[in-house]
Amino acid sequence: DSIELSRRFALAGVDLVDASSGGNSSAPIPVAPGYQADLAARVRAEADVPTATVGMIWTGELAEDLLNKGCADAVMVGRAALRDT
């Protein structure tokens, strides 16, 4: 359980949890921009630890929106930072 593990991490002194399914879930997860934000929001609220979100966050506007909604404390960007546009 991601939430319980995140609680244990917080007790051990972890500063930030990157909440992501890692593309490894037995349940089908609908994939869309910001699709991991719901998991991050749950971890943040229920584990009481600063949390980062990921998942097709391709624009600064989406990142800012997720932060403003309180979904996470940080947004991690991968592919969008590597894209040559």
Q: What is the pLDDT of residues 75-84, one digit of tens each?
A: 998 877 777 6
Copy the structure tokens of residue 77.
């960007």
Domain residue extents for the chain: 2-21+30-82
Q: How confident is residue 29, by pLDDT bands cut at 50, 70 and 90?
A: confident
Give per-residue pLDDT as tens, 8-27. Answer: 999 999 999 999 877 666 77
Burial of 64 from C-beta contacts in 10 A (0-12 / 13-18 / 19+):
exposed
Q: What is the mean pLDDT of residues 36-49?
A: 95
Q: What is the pTM of this model?
A: 0.83
User: To the nearest 10°, the Cα dihedral for 43, 52, 77, 67?
Assistant: 100
Q: How far apart are CA 25 and CA 78, in angstroms?
A: 20
